[in-house]
Amino acid sequence: MPKTSTPSRHFNLIGGKWVPSKTGRWFEDRNPADRDDVLAELPKSGAEDVDLAVKAAKKAFATWRLVPAPKRAEIMGRAAAILRERKEELSRLLTREMGKVLEEGRGDVQETIDTAAYAAGAGTRLMGETVPSELPDKFAMTIRAPLGVCGLISPWNFPTAIPSWKLFPALTCGNTVVFKPASDTPIVATELVKILEEAGVPPGVVNLVHGGGGEVGMGIVNHKDVALISFTGSSDVGRTIAESCGRSLKRCSLELGGKNASIVMDDADLELAVDGAIWGAFGTTGQRCTATSRIVLHEKVKDAYMTRLVKRAKELKIGPGLDETVKVGPLVNEERRKEVHGWVERGLKEGAKLLCGGKVAAGGALKKGWFYEPTIFDGVKAGDTLAQEEIFGPVLSVITVKTFEEAIEALNNSRYGLSSSIYTQDVNRAFRAIRDVETGILYVNSSTIGAENHLPFGGMKETGNGHREGGWTAYDIYTEIRTVYVDYSGKLQRAQIDNRKAETQ
């Protein structure tokens, strides 16, 4: 895609109309691989825009909730078909906007397709349960009901996949939405919303508001007519959102940080374990909540493993993601690169041993982008800063242990609990890990990344508040369970009283 000499302008979608912000302000969206490449200008919206979007969503809810769920799901099926047709175009746009390598951009869009296809079937599976009543001539069942207006706030690292985790289930369940995408990736999110329009979503059902987290994001969170907030991002911001939702008793679904570890035992397939570490730590330039940030390594295989690991990391090609020979793209912006380097400098001050990387990658094709070298530290202790803080960049820390029990203890020594993995040929160890790890996701003989869209995704501790996105569990977030009793006895029957009279007489 050629560079834009005069950036185009994109708009908010409110009540079925594409409109500029009431603030009259704009912000630029730049390619992280080339800061001179301005993709577009977007509305820097404010409270008035949020209020208009919520009002439009609330109005549309009155009719959208009455559309049969299978009919709503048919729209998701059409969206899946459009996404398939436009996969390569969207993948290239995503890579240019966010920076991840093109192969991963295609994976991001494919996950979006898969999520839409799952939603297309889920519309016929929004099932309740029927259960026997304790009284005669009485029927008992549960049904699912939509909540109303849902506020969806998504991050930049998976700019189509994560919005699809939220949008498609919310809509299939009969809710309307106000969607705020990340300011680093607003264009591909806009294209996703346009696809939903093309697929047949009625005006007002999906509303898109661009802008910052303070004005727009928290404006959505605090709006009295928003029934639910779904947020993916940092634990610090998630905590603020949870506090606000708690005050108004608003439903809140949070998917937050991670500090994921792979255990490599002394009987591990070392080539496989190194493959997993390279992919887990440096895929997406480490900018995944499930990225492999720690290796918990058995001392008996340390030398052999580390030799392979460092060699492979040094061989990774860094550059713009549209070059299909590149394996590590840029960080998403300048601030992100400064933060990553700050963590590296702190690790060095605390005595960790730098084995490779640890500096900005610049020169040649890299001089205009936010690139950073794949970085590996050895000599890290489980309680060190490098082993505790979510760096969200291409930085991997190695912790050496002597036993399986010590490995589990090191892995669990984190305030986060999203993803983990273990490499071992011992089935007993594998099942003990399944029992003992404190994470929402566990891989055996694989990396910490690679979640599939039809399974629950989420974690423990400060990784979230217990909800799970993905698969069937996502539909629990976006529906209320309504219990229904039908008494056809023709008389008043009092549960726990009338059916126990004989016992007290």
Residues 237, 64: Cα–Cα separation, whole Å? 31
Report yes or no: 228 and 250 within 8 Å, Cβ to Cβ.
yes
User: Residue 473 and residue 314: Cα distance in Å, rounded?
Assistant: 40
What type of residue sits at position 102? L
Strand pairing report for 479-487 and 138-146: antiparallel
Q: Give the type of residue at 128.
A: G
Q: Considering only CA atoms, which of 73, 19, 88 is closest in space to residue 48?
A: 19
Q: CA 290, CA 212: separation in Å to the nearest integer?
A: 25
Residue type, 353: K
Cβ-contact 50, 223 below 8 angstroms: yes
Residues 6+ apart with CB under 8 A from 63: 202
Location of structure tokens 């059902």 = 205
**Beta strand 34-43 with 130-132: parallel, antiparallel or unpaired?**
unpaired
Question: Cα angle at 452 between 142 and 148, to 5 degrees?
Answer: 40
Tokens of 229: 């907030």
Taking CA 468 as the corner, what is the angle to CA 462 and CA 469, rounded to the nearest 5 degrees?
Answer: 115
In angstroms, the CA 327 to CA 332 distance is: 15
At a CB cut-off of 8 Å and minimum separation 6, what does 209 contact?
A: 12, 14, 43, 45, 49, 50, 53, 178, 179, 180, 216, 220
Give 111's contacts (C-beta < 8 A, 6+ positions apart): 158, 160, 161, 164, 453
Please list the active-site residues: 255, 289
Length of the chain: 505
| Rounded CA separation 443/363 (Å) | 38
CB 461 within 8 A of CB 414: yes
Q: What is the DSSP letter of 468?
A: -
